Amino acid sequence: MPRYRIDIEYDGGAYAGWQRQSGHHSVQAAIEQAIHAFSGEAVTIRGAGRTDAGVHARGQVAHFDLEREWQASRVMAAVNAHLVSAGETVSVLAASKADADFDARFSATARHYLYRILNRRAPAALERGHIWHVAKKLDAAAMHEAAQVLVGQHDFTTFRSVQCQAKSPVKTLDQLDVTRDGDLVEIRASARSFLHNQVRSMVGTIKRVGEGAWTAADVRAALEATDRSSCGPVAPPQGLYLMKVDY
């Protein structure tokens, strides 16, 4: 039974997240329906990251098995054709045959996320739904300094959704960098894996530093509290992108 890997981008605004769920349309379901439409096979695809409702992706990865063998280029073209005809905001960027033991989720060695903030008085027009608008001036340098408190191996209970199903709150955060380019503040986070809502929780917390409400010491205290109530407000989903998955 051949296994296929697909690399995917999507606008998450129209979906209830990556994962298939009853009564709601998801990215996973959209792709599975497109695969069924061209192959006649009902498949379950596994993605590298279970992005939340409204979160976007430029480099999501998934795998699936088919009974019949197809050229990877045919898989990509056929899936995209059905996604377009169905009006989905999902696109397969690449497709390839994978080894039988490849697993998009469990074979991953790192995941890279980008969070984008439009930091100006005027709201977004062209990028509405794809960026977080923050009118109050943010100190990106202070945000970056505070973010370094979170880098390394920690118990991230404070930054973990109460719905998180991970067995342990201990994760190793490899990167959390904050940069500014004009009105754009970007936060890049990298780790082997993340807890549910971890990136958005960290962004919302260090945003408080940027606006002068907290200091790096406050971020450290929140981390060490291992208490969800110590977290800053969770950043909205529309600014978050799954950029790349390493294998």
Please list the active-site residues.
52
Q: Cα dihedral sign for 19, 80, 64, 61?
A: negative
Kindly state the tokens that stand for 136: 């109050």
Q: Rounded CA gap, 144 and 129, in Å?
A: 25
First and final C-alpha spacing in the chain: 22
Q: What burial class does residue 136 get, using C-beta atoms within 10 Å of its C-beta: 0-12 exposed, 13-18 middle, 19+ buried?
A: exposed
Q: Rounded CA gap, 27 and 220, in Å?
A: 36
Burial 69-90 (b: 16+ CB within 10 A, else e): ebebeebbebbbebbeeeebeb
User: Which among 156, 117, 115 has a CA at the least distance from the CA of 139?
Assistant: 117
* DSSP element (H, E) containing 168: none
Does residue 206 contact residue 142 with C-beta atoms inside 8 Å? no
